[in-house]
Amino acid sequence: MSITVKGVIERQGFGPGTWALVGEDGETYELKDAPSELKKAGLKVRVKGLVRKDIMTFAMIGPVLEVQSFEVMKA
């Protein structure tokens, strides 16, 4: 299922951690294979991607979102 989420990028988890998108609605998505341009804590973005229900991760912080495209939002 393809969705679009507006929110803020965060670094979360233990050990090596993982990159996450915290949506405006409070939902946290774990970003799968996030592009390097998206790996900046505090970045406000709009991300379009696929929610992957067939993937489990060590972080288990929320649904896994496979990024298809993204746009950096103005502050």
Residues across the chain: 75
Furthest-apart CA atoms within the chain: distance in Å: 34
Q: Please report, for the chain, the start and end positions of each structural domain, with discontinuous segments joined by +.
A: 2-72
Residue 8 has what pLDDT?
98
pLDDT of residue 56: 86
Confidence (pLDDT) at 6: 98
- The gap from C-alpha 48 to its chain's centroid, in whole angstroms, comes to 10
pLDDT tens sequence for the chain (75 residues)? 799 999 999 999 777 789 999 999 999 999 998 999 999 999 999 999 999 999 988 888 999 999 999 999 986
Q: Report domain 2-72's class.
A: mainly beta
